[in-house]
Amino acid sequence: MNKGFKKYIPFQQIDLPNRQWPTRTITKAPIWCSVDLRDGNQALVDPMNLQQKLQYFTALCKMGFKEIEIGFPSASETEYEICRALIEGGYIPDDVSIQVLVQAREHLIRRTFEAIRGAKNVIVHFYNSTSTLQRKVVFHTDVQGVTDIAVEGAKLVRKLAEEFDGDTNIRFEYSPESFSGTEPDAAVTVCEAVMEALGSTKENPVILNLPNTVEMCTQNTYADQVEYFITHLKNREAAIISLHPHNDRGTGVAGAELGLMAGADRLEGTLFGNGERTGNLDLVTVGLNMYTQGIDPELDFSDLPSLRAMYEHCTNMKVGERQPYAGDLVFTAFSGSHQDAINKGVHYMEESNSPYWEIPYLPIDPSDVGRQYEPIIRINSQSGKGGAAFVMQEIFGYHLPKDMQPEFGTLVKKACDDAGRELSAEEVLDVFKQHYVDVPRKYELGQMFITELSGHDGSDVRFSGTVKVDGVEKQIEAIGNGPIDSFFKALEQIGVYGYHFLTYSEHALTSGSNSRAVAYIRLQCPDGVARYGVGYSHNINRASIKGILSAINRVEAHM
């Protein structure tokens, strides 16, 4: 057995005996900050060029982001020039703050202040690593050492902001990088020293960003860390608590949600979770998670396919098929039981006129994010009666009777097995036509006349017309208590016996005066099996009669 697991040190839990976050719920949207153009961009094989960043920035503004981290202008000449292009080109709306990241190092900070000249609203985001491991392995210093670095950086950004020319509104953000790997008391100590150096007040608060730079534990422990930090921080009202979750353990969204419950005010992340290693917090997922709980996320996700297309074009990354809300298959059901439940949910919504979304297996209405209903149910050998019926109704407008759905579902499943693959919607329709419409026609309706008989109570009618039998035209006529009853009696004249009418339903296939009706007729057949037939016509009586012959022809074709 592999004993490699023994080399890993379990994460130290937080001593927080009176934690409050487990009893809280999220009731409002946080302050959002997109870091797509910096953290997401630095993780790309080929970083975005100016035009791609402009396209991405414009899309973020359109979505409603008011805080956007545009880059690390002191990191390279390219990053510097992109920052200048955004400012000088007039691309930044007056109500949007651009955020620029910089290490707490003097020459980098000074270069960053040069880059933001002329901007209206700027967040200068400075950081240094404070974690136990980085202090030991990278910096060879103690808590006081990393505190000194942070304080010197804070003093310099404050000084440069006070000396800054123009009307730029400058705010500050500080990150104790690798907060999740920093002792809670040490994180508090460093951040309090930064707040003091910045002169933070309730009226001019600093953003204290607590990065889960590398996920190192279960997210309940991260929530403990956040709550510990908040409850032990002096002058809490002078700070906006921000979170920057990563996704190393696949729980970035959970970390963000529990962190908000622990008292955080703000979230940093990227669209679709792009970022180093396994990525950043996916802002699309966490925002739409709120949406499904009746909370306005205050971001516009109504055209998710366009956002996805923009993201894939600008980053050369791909959104996975199972990516929450945005993947190709997230609104798709193959399983028969899932399809049946979705189909019944759609009918329930139509019949109940409920103001609430109540469809099993679909936590969100696909149309709310710009997705279509067409691919929700896809048909393969695992599908059931409800799936085939859903496709027929939602795509082609056929409302198959409930009793007909198992019969049709069996035919579709056999077609899948024969093909050895998924069937397209058009192929499902072809199965329907093959077995109910285009069956071999021993009996074929010609002319027909339905006449209400005078002198009666109005219920008796006469059917008269012609039916071809193996291509030979026969004249038939009979009286019954309705069009269907009179037609059955007329069929006896050409030797058709043993069929009994069971149920009938019909509807228009399209709207308007020229619409065709479709009729579904269920008959008890001579072999004791109930079968459906389908008929079409602009005349509902003719559609019903053709439906009867469809069922009879289906029996005759297999005798």
Continuous segment of H or E residues that includes residue 395: helix 385-396
Q: What is the pLDDT of residue 1?
A: 67
**303-330 pLDDT tens trace:** 999 999 999 999 999 999 999 999 998 9
Residue 559: what pLDDT? 54
Whether 399 has a pLDDT exceeding 70, the answer reads yes
SS3 of 294, please?
coil
Rounded (10°) CA dihedral 384, 391, 484, 351: 90
Cβ(167)–Cβ(119) under 8 Å?
no
Query: How large is the average pLDDT for residues 514-525?
Result: 89
**Confidence (pTM):** 0.79
409: closest CA among 331, 339, 349, 360? 339
Alpha-carbon torsion (357, 359, 362, 368), positive or negative? negative
**Residue 450: burial class (beta carbons within 10 Å; 0-12, 13-18, 19+):** middle
- Write the DSSP symbol of residue 455: T
The CATH number given to 29-315 is: 3.20.20.70
Residue 185 CB partners (closer than 8 Å, separation 6+): 232
Say if residue 227's pLDDT is above 80: yes
- Could you tell me the residue ranges of all domains in the chain? 29-315, 336-437, 443-557
The type of residue at 499 is Y
- The whole-angstrom separation of Cα 460 and Cα 479 is 7
The answer to whether residue 391 scores a pLDDT higher than 90 is no
Extract the tokens encoding 442: 């021993």
Strand 530-537 vs strand 97-103: parallel, antiparallel, or unpaired? unpaired
Top CATH class, 336-437: mainly alpha
For residue 418, what are the β-bridge partners?
none
Contact 447, 465 (CB under 8 A): yes
Residue 337 has pLDDT above 90, yes or no: no
| H-only helix segments in 316-422 | 336-352, 385-396, 404-419
Of 167, 157, 242, 237, the closest CA to residue 194 belongs to 157
**Topology adopted by domain 443-557:** Double Stranded RNA Binding Domain (3.30.160)
Amino acid (one-letter) located at 415: A
Q: Label residue 456 by pLDDT band (50, 70, 90).
A: low
Percent of the chain with pLDDT strictly greater than 90: 69
Higher-confidence residue of 134 and 205: namely 205
Q: pLDDT (tens digit, 9 = 90+) per residue, 470-512?
A: 999 999 999 988 888 899 999 999 988 888 889 989 999 877 7
Which residues fall within 8 angstroms of residue 41, CB to CB, at 6 or more apart? 47, 48, 53, 71, 315
